[in-house]
Structure 1
Amino acid sequence: MNNKLVVYPFENYLYKGFMLDKLIYLPSALELFLINDNDRLIRVSFDWFHSFRVVDEGDVIKMLNSFNGEMILGIYTLVDSEYLEWFHQQSLGIHLKENITHYMVVTMNDVIEILSSEKPVIS
């Protein structure tokens, strides 16, 4: 599989300068709070998710190179996701019939990836 990046269709927000301020992990929910230098706050909430991971943006050099400069600050979905393929292998395919989407939130300092059957709520 080759990751293919798609900009998430919620462009009412400008993500320039946003950093991860806080991440709240609950058994069935995940909330990301992004903040910029002007203290503007964006909340990205997933009411249900299967898996997530957080990586410092400086440690995803291979990923950055594979997108040929397409990956900038913002929210994306990935098609043909290697992370989703890994998840299905680890769960022995029990979720294959579910509509799981690989979301990626890219901030100035972090890359947060979420596998979720629910769309995020952004406010």
Structure 2
Amino acid sequence: MEANTVRQMTTPWSGARGLTTGLMLTEVYQDVWTGKLLLSMGMPTKIDTPPQVIYQLQFDHVFGYRMLEGADVLSFMDDEDEGSSDTQIHLITPSRFLIWFHQQSQGLHLDDDIQHYRIASWDYCVDVLAGQVPQVLVKQST
């Protein structure tokens, strides 16, 4: 880590308390017209069938997001504080991603309350910059 690098801290997001952990990211859907982002999380049942979706995170006001495959995330997360293993969703503060966003947008959104959420599954890591708290949509078993 470089001397001038911002040290990020991960804090478990309270809205994820009680959700199943150890899930896979099964789908990322963005509706660019409405600005919504939907992340589906599921549990594998068989090796040759898609995971059964257990819940979805719906972000209604997204400023940006990025997604990395799990193997690429290990070094990315090494410089972070150890997060709690009882949740897969964390808030990142201060956020290098958010700093980068403000630089790219030339400070246009500095007055907006933007939070950096990290959704880490064993296969992918998704970082989301959102202006509102996400909704957790629990899917019913069929």
Identity of aligned residues (%): 21
Contact 1:64 1:71 in 2 (8 A): no
Does the 8 A contact of 2:12 with 2:83 survive in 1? no
The one-letter code of the counterpart of 2:80 is F
Instruction: Return the index of the structure with the highest Cα Rg.
Output: 2
Matched, 1:51 2:58: no
The code of the aligned residue for 1:115 comes to L
Residue in structure 2 matching 1:81, options 77, 95, 99: 95
Q: Summarize deviations over 1:48-87 as a string: whole Å, max 9, x none.
A: 1000011012102322211254365600110110000000
Deviation track 1:1-23 (CA, whole Å, cap 9, x = no partner) reads: 2211010002120212x111111
Contact 2:55 2:136 in 1 (8 A): yes
2:11/2:83 contact within 8 Å kept: no
**TM-score normalized by structure 2?**
0.80
Structure 1: 4+ residue segments shifted above 3 A: none
Corresponding residue of 1:29: 36
C-alpha RMSD of matched pairs (Å): 1.6
Write the distance in 2 (CA, Å) between the matches of 1:61 and 1:71: 16
- Residue 28 (structure 2) pairs with residue 14 (structure 1): no
For 1:50, the aligned partner's letter is F
